[in-house]
Structure 1
Amino acid sequence: NTKHKGNFAVLIIINTIGRRRSKLQSILKIFLYSYSYIAVNIYVKIYTSSPFLVCMDLALSQREVIDPNYLWIGPDGKNLKGKGYVNLTATGKLMMKGFKTQMSGSYTCTLSYKTIQTDTQKETNNFKTYKFMLYAYREPDYTYQISVRFTTKECGIEANGQFFEELKKILGDLISDLTCQVIEPSYKCHFVKLPKHGLLDELFVTFKVNPFAPGWEALCSQFSYDCEDVTNSKVQKARELIEEFFHKQTYILRHEFRNVPAIHYIDHSFEVTRIDSCRPGFGKNDISHNDCAGCCVVCDRGMYSPNNEVICRTCRNIRIKHYGAKSC
């Protein structure tokens, strides 16, 4: 659930437990180290926990550190020690629990420690500062745009419109149990010249499928987090059901009809495109957040997103000082 970028080292520690068990079990922990001269970008999926951020660079971690002291400062400029939403260990490792939009921002740790010369016992105080940039992100919400084609007797007949209305009803009923819906349905009739054939009249049908049919909010209320994972899973299932429905039309035409209907599905005409959208306060930016390309990353300070588009806009009227703004 966590993505990260920058000049850092990742130390993976595997602890084996249950020695008497026939199958070994492991706990995987990922520690992120920073260098003192550059901030590490880390993307944390909303409502999950961040990896452990280490107040020490990898080189220093291989040496003896005397009297270490760790001071973690959050985006609000306050000491994080004692906060209920952090896990701060005695060795300076920081984990943010249940990451929320407002937790995004700069995290700085100052490590103070001593070095002692063995011959003179002279003590020297040392200080190092490490920086991490944490960004909340979400998975985009999926909508599928689907297009199919049908042959028809001719473009001007009333039966085309009647057929289209019946098709909409069938598709809506097919996915209603998933709290998904068909939106923006439309059709046009065109004359098509096929190679080595004359002109054919065809219906070009397009529509979108999204997971936000009436009642989807009640489904989400069963979870303690925003449920884009659930809605995305359902709309993918809806897309699969619709694709299966059209593929079956070819079999039905070949095996169950003696006389092919005037309006019928054209084999292999099914086409689908996924359209992503982000929740308000989030957007995509493959340039500034290229390590989380495709993610909906929280809008930066000075930017906002009021709708379900994928772009965070710059607010020119006032200076937005928090992450994830939904209005200017």
Structure 2
Amino acid sequence: MLVWALLSAVLWSVARVGALRSSLFSKKGFVYGSIENPVKIYVKLHQDSPILFCMDVNRASKETVDPTYLWIGPNENTLTENGQINLTKEGALIVKDFMESLSGLYTCTLSYKTIKAETQEETTIKKRYDFLIFVNPFAPGWKSVCNDSIDCEDATNRNILEARDRIEEFFRSQAYILYHHFNKTIPAMHFVDHSFQVVRIDNCRPGFGKNEGLHSNCASCCVVCSPGTFSPDADVTCQICVSVHTYGAKACP
């Protein structure tokens, strides 16, 4: 019996922004903020995050006078440029080589001015945008298995199903050859059509799990375990551990 082990996830790909079907995603690949709720984003392990834009869609369509941007990371410290953090003058943020420890809340405060036409009085407006970024477990080397397929999960599934069909055909051919050419010297071999099946096993790598309540928009995703939870094995559930304060914990200290 061939076992089909599948890690389900919704993956970020700048080239396939439209597939996410959200008004928060522009055609240029930006992910805009939202005033009402945090924007949840799922990033491949060791890949770059999407381009997070410190502005909502409505504000982006209007003139913004003297904008300034302040980004705060998961550790509640102000983000500055480094090897993993890329900040642009337009207020955009890209986190490179994303890891479990980089998961969490990213907050940006946009400050800009409004000017009354009658009095020329200036007023400073501030808006806060929250982005919750979670890493999923598609690690380096995954793309090479799929020959750089746009949808690696679909490509892997097709490869597994093709392997099943080839193994089934092998047994069918062997049964035919043994029966017609070697039936006098070798015991007969019988193959029952459709008796060979592929079984799907739902699992996540250690440090990851599924949580339909927390990730309702990505219920089938293997998502990094949040602080206060851990996953020591390939189960799909992050277990509770109050002493864990990091993302992606594999043990309860």
Specify the TM-score bucket, using the shorter chain as the normaliser.
0.7 to 0.9
1:271-310 paired onto structure 2 within 5 Å: 271-310=197-236
Give the match's secondary structure for 1:109. Answer: strand
* Residue aligning to 1:245: 170
Paired residues of 1:246 and 1:265 also in contact (CA < 8 A): yes
Shift of 1:310: 1.9
Shift of 1:6: 11
Shift of 1:292: 2.8
- Given residue 244 of structure 2, which amino acid in structure 1 is its aligned partner? I
Give the match's secondary structure for 1:10. Answer: coil
1:201-280 paired onto structure 2 within 5 Å: 225-228=139-142, 230=145, 236=160, 239=164, 241-253=166-178, 255-259=180-184, 261-262=187-188, 264-280=190-206
Deviations 1:109-161 (Å, cap 9, x if unpaired)?
A: 0001111112211110110000010000024xxxxxxxxxxxxxxxxxxxxxx
Distance 1:286 1:252, change over 3 A: farther
Q: Tell me, which stretches of 5 or more residues in structure 2 are unaligned? A: 1-10, 147-152
1:81-92 paired onto structure 2 within 5 Å: 81-92=80-91
Shift of 1:263: 5.1
* Residue aligning to 2:92: 93
1:322 to 243, 246, 250: 246
* Residue aligning to 1:9: 24
Give the match's secondary structure for 1:55. Answer: strand
Distance 1:136 1:250 in 2: 48
- Given residue 320 of structure 1, which amino acid in structure 2 is its aligned partner? V
Paired residues of 1:6 and 1:40 also in contact (CA < 8 A): no
TM-score, with length taken from structure 2 = 0.78
Distance 1:240 1:77, change over 3 A: farther
Give the match's secondary structure for 2:27. Answer: strand
- Given residue 9 of structure 1, which amino acid in structure 2 is its aligned partner? L
Alignment pair present for 1:58 and 2:57: yes
Distance 1:239 1:267, change over 3 A: closer
Distance 2:172 2:89 in 1: 60
* Residue aligning to 2:5: none
Distance 1:117 1:296 in 2: 50
Deviations 1:169-225 (Å, cap 9, x if unpaired)?
A: xxxxxxxxxxxxxxxxxxxxxxxxxxxxxxxxxxxxxxxxxxxxxxxxxxxxxxxx5
Shift of 1:76: 0.4
- How many residues of Structure 1 are paired with residues of Structure 2 in the alignment? 225
Paired residues of 2:178 and 2:189 also in contact (CA < 8 A): no
Give the match's secondary structure for 2:172. Answer: helix
Q: Tell me, which stretches of 5 or more residues in structure 1 are unaligned? A: 14-29, 140-224
Distance 1:269 1:249, change over 3 A: farther
Distance 1:270 1:249 in 2: 15
Paired residues of 2:109 and 2:129 also in contact (CA < 8 A): yes
- Given residue 249 of structure 2, which amino acid in structure 1 is its aligned partner? A
Task: State the structure with bigger RCO (CA 8 A, min sep 6), 1 or 2.
Answer: 2
RMSD: 2.8
1:36-55 paired onto structure 2 within 5 Å: 36-55=35-54
Percent of counterpart pairs with the same letter? Answer: 45
Give the match's secondary structure for 2:194. Answer: coil
Alignment pair present for 1:131 and 2:56: no
Paired residues of 1:55 and 1:70 also in contact (CA < 8 A): yes
Distance 1:254 1:294, change over 3 A: farther
Shift of 1:251: 3.2
TM-score, with length taken from structure 1 = 0.61
Distance 2:194 2:177 in 1: 14
More displaced stretch, 285-294 vs 266-275: 285-294
More displaced stretch, 62-71 vs 306-315: 306-315
Larger radius of gyration: 1
Paired residues of 1:6 and 1:39 also in contact (CA < 8 A): no
Distance 1:129 1:58 in 2: 13
Deviations 1:32-68 (Å, cap 9, x if unpaired)?
A: 1122221011001111111111111111111111110
